[in-house]
Amino acid sequence: MTPLIDPKLIQLNVSAKDWRDAILKAGHPLVKNSLVTDNYLKSVIKIAEEMGPYIVFMPHVALSHAKIEDGALKDGIGLTVLKEPVPFHNKDNDPVKYIFTLSSTKANGHLDQMAQLVNLLSKNDFFETVSHANNVQEIINYVNEFEGEEK
């Protein structure tokens, strides 16, 4: 079974000059691994410009996503931790340090997968682990352990 967060799509210590740059950099591994097209990331930015930064769904955390027709090619979830938090102009939850990147090829999303992600984020020590991780492997280990508990 594929892991909840794809190890190839995890990045630590990423520097971004503003929120648009942060979306592009967080999404880069998804483009490189052919999960989404370049256009998909442009759509994420366009959606946030039109609808406001609602993708910042909890304090300091954003979910970068657009629609299938914007260029989602394969399913996957990644995680980028920014070196310095960046304002997304979300009045409640700024600034953003963690960006989850989502590509979903199912019209209404994957409910099981999203339920797992919600459970992962509900764990008290998740963000503490991620913010102190020295390398990607520490995050992979944590998520693997979590998925083992979920079974």
| Of 54 and 150, CB closest to another protein | 54
Is 114 near another protein (CB under 8 A)?
A: yes
From 81, 69, 67, 64, select the one nearest 30 (Cα to Cα). 64
Strand intervals (E) in 10-148? 10-14, 61-64, 76-86, 96-103
d(Cα 4, Cα 139) in Å, to the nearest integer?
Answer: 12
Is 107 near another protein (CB under 8 A)?
A: yes
Is 123 near another protein (CB under 8 A)?
A: no
**Cβ atoms of 56 and 93 closer than 8 Å:** yes
Which residues, 32 to 91, sit near another protein by CB under 8 A?
A: 47, 50-55, 57-59, 63, 65-68, 70, 90
> Which positions lie near another protein, rule CB under 8 A?
47, 50-55, 57-59, 63, 65-68, 70, 90, 92-93, 102, 104, 106-111, 114-115, 117-118, 121-122
